[in-house]
Structure formats: C-alpha cells, structure tokens
Amino acid sequence: MKIMHVISGGETGGSKNHIISLLKQFNVDDVLLVVMQEGLLSREAKAAGVPTIVLGQTSRYDLKARKKLKRLAEVQQADVIHSHGARANLYVATIIDRLDAKWVTTVHSDPIHDFMTDGLKGKLFTKINLWTYSKVDHFFAVSERFKDNLVELGVSADRITTILNGIEFDVVDAHTTTRDDLGIADDAFVVTMVARLHPIKGHHELIEAVKQVVERVLDQRIELVLVGDGDERPSIEEAVREQGLVDHVHFLGFRDDIPALYRLSDVAILTSHSESFPLALLEAAREKTPLIATDVGGIRQLVEDYGWLIEPQSVSAIEKSIMEAVEAKKDGRLEPIGMKQYEHAQASFSLEQLANQTKETYMKEVSPS
C-alpha cells in the first residue's frame, strides 16, 4: 500500500513534528511526503530519512502545483492520499475524482478559526476549505472535540477516527541550553509557553496574568519565556511594555532546543482559545515539566488529574494556576506533579500507538470489510 502525504510545507511547529515523527514509523517504500514549497519541514524530513518531494510552488496561488501533484499521484500509484491543512485539501480536492485513490485528511485545528485574522479573505478560505470536506473519504481528528466539531459541520461520525497525537519518549536531547544562556537567575520561577504568536493562543491574557502574579509574589522572581513567532509579535511586545514586564518576558522566536527550554522551566503553559491535541504539551510532559493549559481540544485527556486545567480566555484562571504552581514549588510538590504527568503521557500517548492506529485506518479505507 502506497501512502502519499500532502502538506503546504510552511509548517514550523506541531504539524511539522507530527508528520515527520509519524512517517518515520513507516517503511520508506510505503510512504512519500509531498510538500508544496521548500521549507523547514522538507529539510527536516529529508534529514530524517523520509522520502520527500518538493513541488516548488512559488505561492499559494501557483496552480502549476495541481498538475504536478496529480501526475505524481499517478506515477506513484498512490492508494491513499493523506492531506494536512487547507491548502493541501484544496489541491487534492481538485484532482481526487481523477485518481484511483482514497483521500484521508487530518484535522489539526478548528477550521472555523484557522483564518480568523484574515478578514473577508479569511472567510472565503474557510468556505473553500469546508467545501473540500465533502470529497474526503475519511477524517482523522486529533481530539474528540474536533470530531464533534466535524459532526456539527455535517460530516458523518463513521467517516471520522479520533487519533490522539503521540511522540517518542525514549529520545536523547543533546541541547544544553541553560538559564544563564537566557539571562535568567537560577532561583527564578520560570513559566514557558511554546506557541505561534497568534490571537488564538491567548498571549494577551497570559501577559496580563503574569503582571498580576509579579505584583503579588514579592519573594520570588517570575520569568516568562515565549517561544515562537508570528504576526502578533508587535502587539504582544507592546502589551509587555504597557504592563511594565520588559525585564520579565523573554521572546525567543523559533527554536530547535525546545526540550532543553522545558527542562530549565518550572512549568509549561498553553493559554489557547482553541487547540487540537498540542505536541508542545506532550514535549513538556516528556521533560517532566508540569503543565498549565486551557481546557480546549483534547488537552483534558493529557492534563486532567495531573496538572492545572483552566478555563480559556480567563486572566484570573491563569493567574491562580501560576500562583498555585509557585506555592507547589516552595512546598516541594511541583517536581512530583511533573513526574506523574510524565508517567501518564508515556503510557497513553506513544508514537507507536499513533502509527498503529493510523495504519489500521488506512487498511480499512483501502480494503473495507
């Protein structure tokens, strides 16, 4: 069975890591990664030994990629085309009727919110993406909530399989980034968030909450580390200045030493308004870093009973959880929380489990009983 994954290629975060990790679990003769444009994803995939072809699309409107994609699927005799993201969905939708292949797509995010900051153009892109769903044979939802969202959009439940993300837990990270490298004192309480700088991630609520924590905790230095980049960076930087937190917030941009950054942190936080099942939190759990996260997407299944699960878009909830974590560290309770989180994540969200469920669904689509 030949599986051809299709994605735009501009991904730098969870989607990138998800695809590379998943495809490494397959025989190289059985899979092919097709990216629309060269980027970090294609380079890392090639370095990881994943068979990869770049279509060389010059922009999202370069329609030559459509013909290249169709020809490639024919030459490869693809049994399953597995798309990721709105752009890949659109191009596959325009050729799938002419191919002898099943079409599977993974819903990594809420399609209603994907283009929320793009105005009228965003509304058009949303409609086009939702139109493509009518042609998809099967959906992978990365959380039960996303499955429910798809059902609400008119997708029948029997066309959806929920498969939670998974990562490798027995990897050795060679990065040695320290607090000193970041200009952070050894005795500071460090809160780290790994997320693109986008309105849906809730950075502004986080900044406001950290301001309140700084004002209330007088015997402990509070530091916030923000990893990631995006169009919201100027707005978030302005909020940091307005709150008088310039000396407390570190903007690191994109990094390749995420595990090391989690290891030097006291807690990992994610304040998203909407999520799927974020790999960033799994990566933090792997480093035994306690989690604070909003109750969206599939996060409850990872965090509930182990870390701090909080209401989305609530400054007070964020502040309360950080305050409790600070107290837990003082009492010696924070490290055991991180260990319990690690044990739960390792047992429930392995990469092997992700790959096996994915393969089983492919087989059901290609050879239905």
CATH label of the domain that carries residue 88: 3.40.50.2000
158 in the same domain as 213: no
269 in the same domain as 138: no
- Does residue 187 lie in a domain region? yes
- Range 144-164 average pLDDT: 90
pLDDT for 277: 84
Residue 112: pLDDT band (50, 70, 90) is low
- Range 148-173 average pLDDT: 90
114 in the same domain as 103: yes
- Range 221-227 average pLDDT: 98
DSSP string, 256-287: S-HHHHHHT-SEEEE--SS-S--HHHHHHHHT
Question: Is it the case that residue 146 has pLDDT exceeding 80?
Answer: yes
pLDDT for 111: 63
pLDDT for 142: 85
pLDDT for 121: 66
Count the domains in the chain: 2
- Does residue 174 lie in a domain region? no
160 in the same domain as 25: yes
40 in the same domain as 91: yes
Domain limits at 95? 3-166+350-366
Q: Minimal CA–CA distance to 267: which of 174, 329, 331? A: 329
What are the pLDDT digits (tens) for 287-335?
999 999 999 988 999 998 899 999 999 999 999 999 999 999 999 999 9
197 in the same domain as 129: no
196 in the same domain as 114: no
199 in the same domain as 327: yes
What are the pLDDT digits (tens) for 25-41?
999 999 999 999 999 99
Helix, strand, coil % over all residues of the chain, rounded to 5? 45, 15, 40
192 in the same domain as 153: no
222 in the same domain as 126: no
320 in the same domain as 235: yes
Q: Using CA atoms, how far apart are residues 259 and 192, in angstroms rounded to an integer?
A: 11
Q: Report the percent of the chain where pLDDT is more than 70.
A: 95
